[in-house]
Amino acid sequence: MSFESSSESAGRSLSVQCCIVGGGPAGMMLGYLLGRSGIRTIVLEKHADFFRDFRGDTVHPSTMQVMQELGLLDDFLKIPHQKLTQMQGVFGATPIRIADLSRLKTQCPFIALMPQWDFLNFLETKGARFPSLQIMKSTEATELVRDSERITGVVAATQQGPLHVTADLTVACDGRHSILREQAGLKSEDIGAPIDVLWFRVGKQKADSDGIFARLQRGQMMVTIDRDDYWQCAYVIAKGKIDDIKARGLDAFRENVASLVPILRDHIGDVKSWDDVKLLTVRIDRLTQWALPGLLCIGDAAHAMSPVGGVGVNLAVQDAVAAANILFDKFGAGEPSLDDLEDVQQRRLFPTQVTQVMQTVVQDRIINRALSGEDLKPPFAVRVINALPWLQGLTARLLGIGVRPEHVRSVEKT
């Protein structure tokens, strides 16, 4: 199947059924699913590759269930990863366990800790067998194109000059700072996040291990992710306090980190300057309207998630599966209607709302209390969960499977 193209004095042009802007989890999964169904689909990724240091690394059981339904799971699990079966933390000096994923009755009862670029490269490689799917990198969508009230495509900047893409449907998967949703005038509800994250890495010996995922002490919180030969670290701070931390000096910061997570002490010198520490500004928001005629927003472009629970990647994948399920057979009649696009929002709105409510509860009642220097006695609900293993299975289901999990209904065109 070929993509229609032509040359114009103002640049090249391309005609497809679906133009997906953004090569993150939502965009790449939706591209794979629509390409699999024979829909002429193009994914525009503004970067030359998928390597991005801030991308989430947690692939949950819900996503691996999708991989199984697509026949990709065996190959997916060959990618180097670490398995997280229990979510354990320390409140002050009190160890707690809030989720036990090994209790889940699913093919993969664990969270796979895997760099997101490996996940996205995997989808690109597997999607290459679909002639109806094209992925263009170093291609940045800069402008929505309208015909009266309908979105009809985008103009993108490439190394060869402007590219005009005409599409029956344009899908914004370009993240929480989405250019497309801004140009479309879609309004978002700011739900609020009282935290930011300092993101850095510290070397490790491969033999080193640490079963503690998160640590909270008075005024501090750390999350450590085992990436085999280094620790990916998230030092949680109160929103807007980065200048206060820098004012105390890098040595003080390194000592705080090493005191909080002693296993990092031998290699904390890997943080040589503040250039090695990246600020991730946390936000939680949600569009009130996800679609216009010819345009749909999913993933972070529709709902920015907090890093609490590491669910962002998996919510984005679920959005993509739901969108493909609802829309794959609508292109045969020409183009999905606005009602079709709104069906996607209706399908995914409740899981998004529930997840964001849970994130705000954790932020406000646990993390924010710790950062403000209040007493670090674990909340009553946390103590109950820690004491009752069957409740750890329930929290594991909420975390690993989520609310209203999606299953692949779109068909493969043979």
Residues 8 and 5: their CA atoms lie apart, in Å, by: 10
Q: What is the pTM of this model?
A: 0.91
Give the helix, strand, coil percentages of the chain, each rounded to 5. Answer: 35, 30, 35
DSSP letter at 45?
A: -
Q: How far is CA 207 from the centre of its chain?
A: 29
Query: Residue 245: what pLDDT?
Result: 92
Query: Residue 9: what pLDDT?
Result: 44
Q: What is the pLDDT along the chain (414 residues), one digit of tens a residue?
A: 445 555 544 568 999 999 999 999 999 999 999 999 999 999 999 998 887 655 667 899 999 999 999 999 999 999 999 888 988 888 878 888 989 999 999 999 999 988 889 999 999 999 999 999 999 999 999 999 999 889 999 999 999 999 999 999 999 999 888 999 999 999 999 888 888 899 999 998 777 777 677 888 877 888 888 877 888 898 998 888 899 999 999 999 999 999 988 889 999 999 999 999 998 888 899 999 999 999 999 999 999 998 888 888 999 999 999 999 999 999 987 789 999 999 999 999 999 999 999 989 888 878 887 777 666 778 888 889 999 999 999 999 999 999 999 999 999 997
CATH number among 3.50.50.60, 2.40.240.10, 2.40.50.140, 3.20.20.10, domain 4-191+283-400? 3.50.50.60
The token pair at 108 is: 């993969």
Report domain extents, the chain. Answer: 4-191+283-400, 195-281
Residues 17 and 343: their CA atoms lie apart, in Å, by: 19
The token pair at 4 is: 């229609």
Q: 103 to each of 100, 176, 181, 392, 407, how far by Cα in Å?
A: 6, 33, 40, 8, 21
DSSP letter at 377?
A: P
Q: Per DSSP, what are the bridge partners of residue 140?
A: 157
Query: Residue 54: what pLDDT?
Result: 55
